[in-house]
Chains A and B, each alone.
Chain A
Amino acid sequence: MRSPLRIGPHSFESRLLLGTGKFPDFDIQRKAVEVSKTEILTFAIRRMNVFEPTQPNFLESLDLNKYTLLPNTAGASTAEEAVRIARLAKASELCDMIKVEVIGDAKTLLPDPLETYRACEILLDEGFIVLPYISDDVILARRLQELGVHAVMPGASPIGTGLGLLNPHHLTFIIEQATVPVIVDAGIGTPSDAAKAMELGADAVLLNTAVSGAKDPIKMAEAMKWAVEAGRLGYEAGRIPMKRYASASSPLEGMST
């Protein structure tokens, strides 16, 4: 029996969270989302183009009974900006989860830990299900879970780089002490990156560009589904210890001479 992913009051079969940015077109995106078997989709909140009200919108084309929305606070660089975006998202009455993303540096897009913490504090008070995007800092992860966040989302590497798990050792520090789900977010480039994160014991993986920017996003979405599942199964199965020297898989006795 596979264990579900539980975030606050929500429960999910899939451990792959998919971003919705930068897909070539809605048709490819819809198919990619479908084959990924994801149940959680992230979105950003932006101004509507009031001069072009008929422009198609991906969210409006979705069966919202099938997906849980995880809006982000991307674009915020202070706690106040993040809180405002979160409130706007919740006012849609379509979601109660929020990915707190407070960027501290335009070049690396690394999160500002202090503003992130402050935003989480306010949003928890207001009853949000709070999932902060953070660096791979175990102390910050612990402080946030003590504060009451519902998951922590350490980055594997900077957003959109596809560099994979730059510091798996630090990710394991976070995973080992976690009392809430650990969702490895950002920087995943390949299915093996996603599988590796899951093998380390991450509860889920959130990725976007690795799929939307792939030569064939639909194929990559399916690859990511298998990778996350394989990595999770491998983690639950428990890997063998590593040894320096060989040990034969075939019996040493009974050789025919």
Chain B
Amino acid sequence: MKLIINGDSIEFSEEQNHIYQLLCHLQMEQRIVIVELNGSIIAKQAYETTLLSDGDRIEIVHFVGGG
């Protein structure tokens, strides 16, 4: 399936279709990140239960230097 992650279209396997699996695939499961799915923030506790489907828009953000 095709996911739009931070504005980029990325092909992702149909079998691994949870947020947690996506983060593992991107090597980000240990990082401090916040995930938004189609405009809704996903709580950390829901990463393993939130299903992804074709065409989903995902934002993955983190803390960067700023004043």
C-alpha spacing A53/B44, complex, angstroms? 18
Q: A54-B27, A60-B31, A88-B34 are in contact. Are A44 and B43 (CB under 8 A)?
A: no
Q: Which chain A residues (71-104) contact chain B, with CB distance < 8 Å?
A: 71-72, 74, 87-89, 91-94
C-alpha spacing A43/B66, complex, angstroms? 5
- The smallest C-beta distance from A162 to any residue of chain B, in angstroms, reads 12
C-alpha spacing A16/B38, complex, angstroms? 38
Is the CB–CB distance between B67 and A21 below 8 Å? Answer: yes
Is the CB–CB distance between A45 and B61 below 8 Å? Answer: yes
C-alpha spacing A119/B19, complex, angstroms? 29
Is the CB–CB distance between B59 and A60 below 8 Å? Answer: no
Give the A interface residue count (CB, 8 A).
38
| Contact of B33 with A by CB under 8 A | yes
Contacts of B66 in A (CB 8 A): 19-21, 42-44, 72, 74, 208
| Contact of A47 with B by CB under 8 A | yes
Is the CB–CB distance between A45 and B41 below 8 Å? Answer: no
| Contact of A159 with B by CB under 8 A | yes
Q: Mark B9-29, 1 if CB is under 8 A from A, else 0.
A: 010000000000000001110
- The smallest C-beta distance from B65 to any residue of chain A, in angstroms, reads 4
